[in-house]
């Protein structure tokens, strides 16, 4: 029932349908799940004679007469309203169509504030109290679709909440003391108190968390069926690898490696998450795992979410692999058709020992000769092993890597089905990055500082503003900025420009040049956010840093501070008075902390709810109602319930309903 298109609701025609769809609202179910941002606070109902000061109030009365006038572009509509105790002139701005409705004798209920001229209306009802009700929902809306309209559309969807019964088995619902889902939805959209709204939200959050946990459990069960080949104990190749590395591995890296070794020795495919802050040294560990496959006479694959990142991974590992005599190939869509086919053939024959590419490419286009270990960077936690298993008969061992700093408790939610290795401490030679926040008027000092680093033989990044524009516009803006800098602040230095519109060959050449020190400064869009690893780059300027999210800033900053030198990150923004509170708090947090986990927590606080970095990849973005910090108890209960449900076949139907909703999880 909730699959019904929104246009089946009264008053929703093609135009409104389109505006709704811009808000992501396509079905009645979407409307029901449109969570209010907040609720109107309660205000007193007063008689007109009792109105005083500028205290917000609700009044009710009858229209005596109305008139309208214009002042410039402002349309002002005034209605004299009386309630027996007195009269007041109520005013509306820019709602000319209302004039026809405010005819003498009409009953109105108004919420607003007394002002010099009478009563300034914030919301009104001509019939039943909905708009003016206490705790009226305030939805994420748009300019094209005003709040009042959206409220009435959601209200007209609400009866469908009762259709189709409750997805939770009654026993479970009672045991958890949860309201019916329909009641929860009603409470969410039409609460009589904030407590009621919160109770509704928690029931909906429980459903979400349970769905997620069931999906994880199902995925884990599917994996139980898979069989991998156990790899023999570590051999000479990885021993040589340790020798050619220009540093010794840290304790945390060694611990992760020991855990991986233990996994690889089993016939149950490894499903391990390697978690560590940016720059903590995960890639080094990942390559170790790949080499374990190679020394067993088998193959490894490294999959990245984007081509840029895949190229970057190749740059990181190809030197080492060459030294070790390991044959590596990059498979990208940029290869010509013949070359592409050739690389695929070499992978299929086993001549290529380690293949690097995007998730999509490797999973869709490649049949491996004998894939034993897959490293999956930052995405797509599901699906890899199944597909590869079909191809080769045996499932590979999978190591997932993430720099998403999800607090440990939360990791349980999203990675509940994976074993976790954490690299908590960066290599000891690191000095914490010094982060400073400077405003526009002093940006020249930032560039002076940057050029001092360049003069001393170091390299730098300048990150271009994040604008809401097409990739092409963004690329052009970056090129223009690079050109401007070449002529002004960075005159005399070698400036390269990197963006998403460069063709992969050029991009690779550029990265190689930067790595080789043939370019001093890389002016870049956020494509440098992940993976780029040039230890000689010691300073970064982020332009218009107030536009970036906290997590993104942290990722960007992780591009410097990768060597033993002191590194700097300079965040340039508009003047503080011009920034939103949230932007100010983000920049302050960046200056105060370099710890990804702490920043993730701060991010949650600033945003007030459950959107974290990597939310999309991790399935967390499906959590609309859950407030991760607040709902830890619910998470535990949902895990427990998922375990119990998992055991009871009797409940399969109900579970099926929930899982039906969860099917898209992980496919993103």
**Interacting residues toward ligand ADP by CB under 6 A:** 247, 249-250, 253, 276, 278-284, 403, 427, 429, 533, 535, 562
Smallest Cα–Cα separation from 123: which of 88, 84, 155, 95? 95
Q: Which string of DSSP letters, residue by residue, matches 129-187?
A: SSTTSTT-EE----SSS-HHHHHHHHHHHGGGGGTT--SS-HHHHHHTT---HHHHHHH
Contact 259, 397 (CB under 8 A): no
Q: Which residues fall within 8 angstroms of residue 23, CB to CB, at 6 or more apart?
A: 34, 140, 141, 142, 145
Rounded to the nearest 10°, the torsion over CA 631, 633, 634, 639 is: 130
626 contacts Mg ion (rule: CB under 5 A) = no
Contact 571, 584 (CB under 8 A): no
Please identify, using beta-carbon distances, which residue of 187 and 532 lies nearer to Mg ion.
Answer: 532
404 contacts Mg ion (rule: CB under 5 A) = no
Please choose, out of 108-116, 135-143, 179-187, 283-291, the segment that lies near Mg ion by the rule CB under 5 A.
283-291
CB of 533 to Mg ion, least distance (A): 6
CB of 544 to ligand ADP, least distance (A): 25
Please identify, using beta-carbon distances, which residue of 276 and 619 lies nearer to ligand ADP.
Answer: 276
Smallest Cα–Cα separation from 117: which of 82, 94, 89? 89
186 contacts Mg ion (rule: CB under 5 A) = no
For residues 646 and 634, give the distance between their C-alpha atoms in angstroms, rounded to a whole number. Answer: 18
CA–CA–CA angle 100, 103, 106 (5° rounding) = 120
Please identify, using beta-carbon distances, which residue of 281 and 496 lies nearer to ligand ADP.
Answer: 281
Q: Which does 144 bind (CB under 5 to 8 A by kind): Mg ion, ligand ADP, none?
A: none
Count of residues interacting with Mg ion (CB under 5 A): 1
388 contacts Mg ion (rule: CB under 5 A) = no
Please choose, out of 156-164, 207-215, 279-287, 619-627, the segment that lies near Mg ion by the rule CB under 5 A.
279-287
66 contacts Mg ion (rule: CB under 5 A) = no
Q: Which does 666 bind (CB under 5 to 8 A by kind): ligand ADP, Mg ion, none?
A: none
Contact 359, 303 (CB under 8 A): yes
CB of 284 to Mg ion, least distance (A): 9
CB of 535 to ligand ADP, least distance (A): 5
Please identify, using beta-carbon distances, which residue of 168 and 560 lies nearer to ligand ADP.
Answer: 560
253 contacts Mg ion (rule: CB under 5 A) = no
Q: How far is CA 640 from the centre of its chain?
A: 27
Residue-wise burial string across 299-328, b where 16 or more C-beta atoms lie within 10 A, e elsewhere: bbbbbbbbbbbbbbbbbbbbebbeebebeb
283 contacts Mg ion (rule: CB under 5 A) = yes
Please identify, using beta-carbon distances, which residue of 428 and 469 lies nearer to ligand ADP.
Answer: 428
CB of 611 to ligand ADP, least distance (A): 23
Q: Which string of DSSP letters, residue by residue, matches 257-325?
A: HHHHHHHHTSSSPPEEEEEE-TTSSHHHHHHHHHHHHHHTT-EEEEEESSHHHHHHHHHHHHHHHHHHT
CB of 250 to ligand ADP, least distance (A): 4
Smallest Cα–Cα separation from 375: which of 282, 300, 432? 300
- The residue whose two tokens read 């070794």 is 261
CB of 153 to ligand ADP, least distance (A): 46
Please identify, using beta-carbon distances, which residue of 313 and 586 lies nearer to ligand ADP.
Answer: 313
> Restricting to residues 119-148, which ones interact with Mg ion according to CB under 5 A?
none
Please identify, using beta-carbon distances, which residue of 166 and 277 lies nearer to ligand ADP.
Answer: 277
CB of 428 to ligand ADP, least distance (A): 7
312 contacts Mg ion (rule: CB under 5 A) = no
Contact residues for Mg ion (CB under 5 A)?
Answer: 283
């Amino acid at each position: 029932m909730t699959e019904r298109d929104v246009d089946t609701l009264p008053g929703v025609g093609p135009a409104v349908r389109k505006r709704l769809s811009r808000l992501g609202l396509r079905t009645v179910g979407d409307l029901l799940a449109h969570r209010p941002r907040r609720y109107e606070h309660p205000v007193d109902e007063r008689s007109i004679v009792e109105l005083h000061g500028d205290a917000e109030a609700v009044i009710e009365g009858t229209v005596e007469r109305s008139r309208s006038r214009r002042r410039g572009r402002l349309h002002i509509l005034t209605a004299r309203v009386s309630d027996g105790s007195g009269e007041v002139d109520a005013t509306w701005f820019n709602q000319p169509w209302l004039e026809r409705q405010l005819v003498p004798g009409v009953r109105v209920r108004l919420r607003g504030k007394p002002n010099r001229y009478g009563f300034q209306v914030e919301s009104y009802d001509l019939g039943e109290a909905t708009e003016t009700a206490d705790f009226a929902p305030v939805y994420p809306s748009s300019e094209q679709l005003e709040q009042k309209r959206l409220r009435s559309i959601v209200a007209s969807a609400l009866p469908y909440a009762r259709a189709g019964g409750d997805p939770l088995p009654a026993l479970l619902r009672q045991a958890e003391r949860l309201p019916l889902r329909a009641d929860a939805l009603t409470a969410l959209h039409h609460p009589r108190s904030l407590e009621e709204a919160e109770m509704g939200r928690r029931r909906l959050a429980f459903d979400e968390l349970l769905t997620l946990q069931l999906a994880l459990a199902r995925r884990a069960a599917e994996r139980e069926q898979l069989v991998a080949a156990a790899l023999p104990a570590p051999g000479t190749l990885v021993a040589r690898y340790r020798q050619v590395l220009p540093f010794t591995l840290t304790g945390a890296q060694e611990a992760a490696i020991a855990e991986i070794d233990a996994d690889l020795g089993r016939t149950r495919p490894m499903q391990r998450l390697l978690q560590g802050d940016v720059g903590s040294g995960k890639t080094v560990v990942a390559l170790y795992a790949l080499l374990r496959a190679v020394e067993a006479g088998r193959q490894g694959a490294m999959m990245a979410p984007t081509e840029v990142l895949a190229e970057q991974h190749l740059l990181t590992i190809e030197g080492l692999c060459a030294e070790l005599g390991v044959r590596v190939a990059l498979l990208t869509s940029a290869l010509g058709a013949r070359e592409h086919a050739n690389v695929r053939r070499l992978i299929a024959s086993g001549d290529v020992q380690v293949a690097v590419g995007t998730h999509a490419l490797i999973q869709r286009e490649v049949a491996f000769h004998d894939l034993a270990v897959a490293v999956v960077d930052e995405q797509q936690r599901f699906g890899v092993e199944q597909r590869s298993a079909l191809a080769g008969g045996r499932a590979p061992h999978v190591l997932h890597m993430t720099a998403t700093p999800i607090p440990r408790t939360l990791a349980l939610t999203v990675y509940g089905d994976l074993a976790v290795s954490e690299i908590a401490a960066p290599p000891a030679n690191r000095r914490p990055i010094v982060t400073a926040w400077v405003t526009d008027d002093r940006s020249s000092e930032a560039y002076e500082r940057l050029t001092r680093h360049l003069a001393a033989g170091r390299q730098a990044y300048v990150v271009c503003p994040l604008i809401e524009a097409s990739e092409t516009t963004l690329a052009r803006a970056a090129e223009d900025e690079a050109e401007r800098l070449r002529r002004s602040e960075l005159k005399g230095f070698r400036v390269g420009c990197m963006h998403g519109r460069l063709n992969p060959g050029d991009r690779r050449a550029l990265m190689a040049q930067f790595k080789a020190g043939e370019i001093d400064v890389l002016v870049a869009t956020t494509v440098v956010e992940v993976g780029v690893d040039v230890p000689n780059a010691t300073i970064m300027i982020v332009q218009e840093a107030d536009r970036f999210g906290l997590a993104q800033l942290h990722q960007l900053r992780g591009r410097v501070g990768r060597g033993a030198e002191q590194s700097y990150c300079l965040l340039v923004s508009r003047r503080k008075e011009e920034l939103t509170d949230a932007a100010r708090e983000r920049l302050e947090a960046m200056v105060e902390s370099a710890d990804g986990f702490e920043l993730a927590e701060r991010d949650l606080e600033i945003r007030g709810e459950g959107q974290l970095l990597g939310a999309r990849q991790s399935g967390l973005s499906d959590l609309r109602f859950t407030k991760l910090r607040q709902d830890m108890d619910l998470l535990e209960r949902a895990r427990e319930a998922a375990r119990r449900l998992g055991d009871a076949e009797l409940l399969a139907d109900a579970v099926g309903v929930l899982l039906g909703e969860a099917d898209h999880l992980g496919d993103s």
